[in-house]
Amino acid sequence: MSRDQDYNVDEYMSNIEDGLLPDHMFDEDFDLAEIVQERVEYYDFRSECSNLVRNCMTTVLLQSLESIRTLFICCLLFRLAISVMHAVFPRVSPRICGILHLFGIFLGFVSLISIESSNIVTTVLIMLSYIFASYTLTLVLSTSSYSCSKLISIFTAVFLISGEYLVHDSELWHQIRGILLLLAMKVISVAFDIDSKSITTFPSILSYVSFCMHCGTLLFGPWVAYHDFSDSILYPKGFSKSWFGNILKSLVCSFVCLLLSTCVLSYLFIDGAQPDLPSLTPFVANHWMSSYQSAISFHFSHFYICFLSQTTCMISGIGRAGRGNSTWSSFVVVRPFSVLLPFSMLNLVVDWNIPMSKWLKKYVFNAYKHLGRTTAILLTYTASAILHGLSFHLASVLMSLSLITYVEYVLRKKISHLTKCPHIQSRLPVDAVNHSRPWWAVPFNMCWVAINIAHLAYLGSMFQSEDPEIAKQGYHMQHTVAKWRNLGFFSPIFAFICLILSLILPSPYKNVRTSDKMK
């Protein structure tokens, strides 16, 4: 292996997929350890960076622009159609809105075809079956004495679980699962808002389908409430420098996250099994390093989708609609720094996808809070697991998150009560500013940040696979357990220790209950 050897990422990966290995692996004297040692010895950072920019970044950026170009055009056309409608018709009639909804549905199908070109007929049939069945059921239940929201939630859960077993093409179901998740969130939110009278007028079939097929939220999200969609049509904000500037900012952030995920963070360390791949550091990855590399790469790919969804929403006019004084900059889908440096797991699960966390809190947690906080939390994570797809790897990650988040919250709150320091709680209370922060609070919180980063590396290790087919069809149980075994099952063991400590420590509410009884 020479110092000036050029590592072409695309060519290497295509050779691996075609069953072609590098030439040195056919050598009778082939020694992988020796190849790795030479790779470290002749490491050249400048050459590695140049190769990644030339062979990865340019290609990825151009492919991404080409794949989302039609989606951006559809979102802009819908926004222009709304502006033209208000310019031509000062008083918008239901008939004019119906024409606009038809145009919006058409643009939704165009954007869907531009991204999901394969098996498009099956995808559309599944989507339309769910949309029309849910509308019919909501219409019938809205005039009955039964709870529309709960029955629609049960119907959605049955539909999604049935799809896991009835759709035999696992790769197809894996591809459309994200779209069905967004549709399910929209449908359930409409049912809840009808029950709570937040939606006073029952949506027409055209407005309902247009809401579900909205091109700005159909493919990548985020979830938006029906009244936000309706306000973007009835009370749109005009074009402005702020609108354009925030779109440009979100778009740049999305592409930066994409390049970091695909061409930088995926090659942080030398892969001992595939030493010919590029690396930005001259270190050979162990299990923890590989897991962290896989986790942080997955995080930035998620940030890419979130910023992209933020962009499509704003292009289509959602984000600053209605009669309030909100600004385009206040529309936020994800907070990356809260995820990368998690002060607590509670902050992470909220800032991972802000609209979805609001949806889960409003339509699941608050709806079942009367059953008890612990039960409501478990139901919230169960609902999230069903929406994301009833598979072992996602269910295990979400349930692990629920355990880790809850145990950390309880333990830190009890320690905060014993030390009379609110600055170390998972979520800072409002009155924390009235208390002085002791010197040890900062290193205490930094330790939890390091622990939570280790949790993220542990949970993210399952997204690492040498076989691309596993990623397409979904990670099976054996793959997940094997990855976590390599890390010594760190997260559940640590969470169990924290649970024991939290049970030993006195409850912060014990003194309050005692004083109440004395009164």
Residue-by-residue pLDDT tens, the chain, 519 positions: 333 444 444 554 444 344 444 444 444 455 677 777 887 888 888 888 888 888 888 899 999 999 999 999 999 999 999 999 988 887 878 888 999 999 999 999 999 998 876 778 888 999 999 999 999 999 998 888 778 888 999 999 999 888 878 877 777 787 788 899 999 999 999 999 999 888 888 999 999 999 999 999 999 989 999 999 998 998 888 888 999 999 999 999 999 999 999 999 888 888 877 777 888 888 888 888 888 988 899 999 999 999 999 999 999 999 865 555 567 888 899 999 999 999 999 899 899 999 999 999 999 998 888 888 878 888 888 888 888 776 777 778 888 888 899 899 999 999 998 988 888 898 888 777 777 888 899 999 999 999 999 999 998 887 766 555 555 555 667 777 888 888 888 999 999 999 999 899 887 655 544 444 434
Q: Can you give the pLDDT at residue 79?
A: 95
Cα–Cα distances in angstroms (integers) from residue 107 to residues 24, 78, 95, 97, in the given order: 51, 8, 19, 15
Q: Can you give the pLDDT at residue 21?
A: 41
Q: Can you give the pLDDT at residue 309?
A: 95
Q: Is the peptide bond before 90 cis (omega within 30 degrees of 0)?
A: no
Q: Can you give the pLDDT at residue 452?
A: 93
Q: Are 214 and 316 in contact (CB under 8 A)?
A: yes
Q: Can you give the pLDDT at residue 251?
A: 95
Residue with tokens 């409003």: 362
Q: Can you give the pLDDT at residue 31?
A: 67
* Single-letter amino acid, residue 39: R
Residues whose CB is less than 8 angstroms from the CB of residue 434 and which lie 6 or more positions away in sequence, other chains included: none
Provide the β-strand partners of residue 284.
270
Q: Can you give the pLDDT at residue 328?
A: 84
End-to-end distance of the chain based on CA atoms, in angstroms? 81
Q: Can you give the pLDDT at residue 467?
A: 57
Q: Which contacts (CB < 8 Å, 24+ apart) does range 336-339 have?
A: 336/257, 336/299, 336/303, 339/299, 339/303, 339/456
Q: Can you give the pLDDT at residue 514?
A: 40
Q: What tokens appear for 297 in the block?
A: 């790469």
| CB neighbours of residue 283 within 10 Å | 13
**139 φ/ψ angles, rounded to the nearest 5 degrees:** -65, -45
pTM of the model: 0.87
Residues whose CB is less than 8 angstroms from the CB of residue 209 and which lie 6 or more positions away in sequence, other chains included: 101, 105, 131, 135
Cα–Cα distances in angstroms (integers) from residue 278 to residues 72, 214, 355, 463, 465, in the given order: 33, 41, 37, 20, 17
Cα–Cα–Cα angle for 408, 223, 202, rounded to 5 degrees: 125
Q: Are 260 and 300 in contact (CB under 8 A)?
A: yes
**284 φ/ψ angles, rounded to the nearest 5 degrees:** -85, 130
CA torsion, ordered 173, 179, 180, 185, to nearest 10 deg: 150
CA torsion, ordered 35, 38, 44, 50, to nearest 10 deg: -20
3-state per-residue secondary structure call for 496-518:
HHHHHHHHHCCCCCHHHHHHHHH
